[in-house]
Chains A and B, each alone.
Chain A
């Protein structure tokens, strides 16, 4: 497989050299942009068929609309390559269109990005557009690529609100391709919308792992219906199978990407439809005036790029329709925030140049624990600031050697990064050395509250998590759910953030029932997955039916818990995906809260000297319930009361133990 790719790569290079030699002169003659006589020529390359009633069709329909508005085929020529699921083939197509002198070549699939990155520089007189993404490659000196994406969570939210209102069984099924990109965004929005109406509603999501397997998507829909779902939704082109099943079973359907009402006029309620026209018209205008790229677009409900199309054939109750329209209006005016906490409403400062952030972390960025919590927060902030052109993120992961981390921190500072984050308490002493040498660079260090101001250092921020708070909430739930009266804890070494979490957890448990046994096992390592698993097994043999643990090696313990049907409480990152049946809730760190503050201070010219503690009250810590776990309503209510109590100060956590 790999060698095949490798050979294709070589071949491509050969082709490229050939094409460059041949293409340059052709371009000069046909590609002249300011010849008003000829039509505006657009080529589009798409991963599925133009009539897929989904992603590809949404673009093709938009092109036709624009063509009509411009005055028909004489004014605008459209050619397309559909079903280009082989990326190499798509690359060949894109290159070919560009060398034929098309004015605009659209690569309609995020998988085409790396090919486009190769091709675009060879055709500086051709404009390219790429979606769905916000990356125009401008940071790599490429100026002829536009980027576009859809805030599909917004329409998803509206669909979710409607679905929850219409569902009688309280069970909703979702069929998706792969949990990423546009599809994930839509589903996340949908789930959030459904839960905003009814937090107890069951939204079961099925990712079938394919964009094309219609049979499997039908089977997934069948599964949902057997599980009691009476409302379904789904995204990507293979959902046509699911729509058929829904129709047969008389379940309701919500569509996205394109208008799917025609597929099953009796059961489709509404569709989120993408109106790429909004993007295309602006792009074409820019191209005609000589700008070939370096601009990104995000369609949403507010700018008209997304629209909720109700199926005229479906008899939607008037009050539900009003609710939907209120929701849409709420999203547009910002009173309803989709995707993430209310903190989103806080405006981020804007910097004239790309804000450059470097982060040094002790473990891998995907450790589902400490390092990932920071990396995820950075990516969220980046997205909110407007993508890579607004904020650059570089990282050094697995920097467990303190000395290497120090070298990395110094190097980043010397390379002119605006903010260098030393994400590990062990990096403190090194930072103390480095920070004074770079007074114009801002540093952030965690987890601690020591900013070294007492030593005259003014450019270090500090951050820490009050992990005992989430630990306490987890502990309260654990004590309530435990039937055996024995709870097990797996930790790395008895210190720092881990100890704080465990102490809070123990306090939470004993606040409910002081007779419960909480056994704590410190395994002496952050990496020994096998020993973590065996520690969990030991707890289970000792009678524990609820477990928790902290740091990245606990993935082993989660597996052991799952095998034995014990419940699990996570911390640092959301670990629900690892064992959807047994993870009850997670304390999740939202370092965004800290990063927002730091960015604001930096924009005001302050480089350090302030310490931040994230906790439940300031939204930096959040207890994320696993939607897949059927938590009894009274326990959830108790948890929410506890959170409220910690926030308003009526509960104080006693870490005496």
Chain B
């Protein structure tokens, strides 16, 4: 039965579903990367995702307009980011805990709105699969990579963009400076507050899209707590990726591929208890880091609020 795992159907299946599973992680984790590079740990990603998912779903449900759905997710994510920025930058609140607070708020609020405004589980027609001409016809690779919906492509396109912004632009330089040494950045005339506001709001918007990628992209339903821990995994993947977009991509793909592998293991009837199979992605993610013992150092000012001495 183990040999069945290497058949082409299975391999293509694992890779294609790995790509889909990775999509929400990528949006959320790239957003979180920006935040952490500027020195802000946001544990509220899950709450932002849920509110984004609901907002997008609701607008698509009411209007059928996918663009409006995406805009709603962006707007709601931005609002949540704005609140988080105010609390952590201006009020200098402990970041981890405020994140947990925003997570709980998003979890409850999205469910409350769902119950009051929809009432029951509904479906919408969300983003459908777009076969990219020519590329989708390439055997194997085409099937894996180029027969997905727009939001999936968007997530992968985001990785090089984020890398470019962080490493090749002045904005990226400012973000990194603020995360490494806010005092120095401040003395060079960079507004620490402004940069952090920017990254937190951006992170919120991307988390909102991450939610939308589920509710109007991959699943086309909304249900209470539909992300069920996905946002926290996304935060973990930022650490896995060593605060670098390409590393985050690697982590998201590894985690998702192993997750789809364990789904296949069960489907093929390989006799491993289901709970042990479900454990696999979590165990392997840790093991991967242990094996590749990295010496990446995180942003020095992470979780530290910044304020000039009066």
Contacts and interface: CB of A to CB of B under 8 A. Distances in A.
Contacts of A566: none
B218 A530 contact: yes
Interface residues of A, number: 41
A537 B10 CA distance: 12
A488 B115 contact: no
Interface stretch (B35-43, B117-125, B171-179): B117-125
Interface stretch (B26-34, B70-78, B197-205, B219-227): B219-227
Interface string A515-542: 0000111111101111101110111011
A524 B227 contact: no
Nearest to A492: B274
Contacts of A368: 120-121
B219 A541 contact: no
A364 interface: yes
B228 interface: yes
A364 B229 contact: no
A555 B124 CA distance: 12
Contacts of A543: 9
Given A366-B120, A530-B230, A533-B219, A519 B267 contact: yes
B275 A534 contact: no
Contacts of A563: 220
Contacts of A552: 223
Contacts of A577: 120
Q: Specify the main secondary structure of chain B where it touches its partner.
A: helix
A483 interface: no
A525 B230 CA distance: 13
A533 B267 contact: no
A488 B219 contact: no
Interface string B201-244: 00000000000001000111101111111100000000000000
B221 A541 contact: no
A494 B224 contact: no
Interface string B100-113: 00000000000100
Interface in A341-394: 364, 366-368
A652 interface: no
Count chain B CB atoms within 10 A of each CB in A541, A542, A556 and give the residue with the most. A541
Contacts of B17: 534, 537-538, 541
A398 interface: yes
Nearest to B16: A541
B228 A527 contact: yes
Contacts of A493: 274-275
B67 interface: no
Interface stretch (B246-254, B256-264, B295-303): B256-264
B266 interface: yes
B48 to A, nearest CB: 16
A534 B263 contact: yes
A519 B214 CA distance: 25
A559 B226 CA distance: 13
B182 interface: no
B266 A521 contact: yes
Interface in B136-160: none
A578 interface: yes
A563 B219 CA distance: 9
A579 interface: yes
A530 B263 contact: no
Contacts of A562: 123
B218 A542 contact: no
Nearest to B261: A538
Given A535-B266, A578-B121, 5 more contacts: A366-B121, A533-B219, A541-B16, A563-B220, A577-B120
Return the 4 tightest CB-CB contacts between A and B, nearest first: A541-B13, A522-B274, A524-B278, A519-B267
23 contacts: A364-B111, A364-B115, A488-B267, A519-B268, A521-B267, A523-B263, A524-B275, A525-B228, A528-B228, A529-B226, A530-B24, A530-B214, A531-B263, A535-B263, A535-B266, A537-B16, A538-B13, A538-B267, A542-B264, A552-B223, A563-B220, A578-B122, A578-B221
